[in-house]
Amino acid sequence: MAKQFDAYEPMPGLHINGKAGLGENIADYGGVLLGLDAFRKTKQYQEGKKIGGLTPLQRYFLGYAIGWMSQQRDESLRSQLLSDVHSPAKWRVLGPISNVPEFYRAFGVKPGQPMYRADSARVQIW
């Protein structure tokens, strides 16, 4: 996972420090997985009804992403990248979710698309 986050470059020439943020990034990933396990037990998930054209699984991932929506000035982003162990909000979504197989099934993500990570490159901890 450290290697995955090291590769993210939120600003030209400034990468996320994957080693420094590893604990936080693992926690985000674990949260996505635990939340998904809990969601699978709900009636809403089990009924599988679409709402607004979206399946329950699609809504789960979109809900997670919406929770991290924010705007940040370049100066603030630069400061965060240089001094904070937390990844910027956008990558707290892209990073963990791109490792979850259900995300690929929910949205039909294929090789060559921006969030695609090969099976062999996906982080699997638990």
Residues in CB range of 122: below 8 A, 6 or more apart: 98, 99, 101
Residue 126 forms part of a structural domain:
no
The total number of structural domains in the chain stands at 1
pLDDT in tens, 35-53: 999 999 999 999 999 999 9
Distance CA 15, CA 32 (A): 23
How confident is the model over 57-86, as pLDDT tens digits? 999 999 999 999 999 999 999 999 999 999
- Say whether pLDDT at 122 is over 90: yes
Give the model's pLDDT for residue 64: 98
Q: What is the DSSP string of 52-81?
A: TTB-HHHHHHHHHHHHT-----HHHHHHHH
Tell me the mean pLDDT in the region 9-14.
98
Higher-pLDDT residue of 66, 126: 66
- Is residue 124 within 8 Å of 32, Cβ to Cβ? no
Cα separation, 1 vs 88, in Å, equals 15
pLDDT for residue 126 is more than 90: no
Task: CATH number of the domain at 56, please.
Answer: 3.40.390.10
The reported pTM is 0.94
Residue 95 included in any domain: yes
Residue (of 31, 87, 36) closest to 58 by Cα position: 36
Range of the domain at 16: 2-121
* Nearest of 119, 57, 69, 126 to residue 93 by alpha carbon: 69
- In a domain, residue 37? The reply is yes
Q: How far apart are CA 67 and CA 78, in angstroms?
A: 22
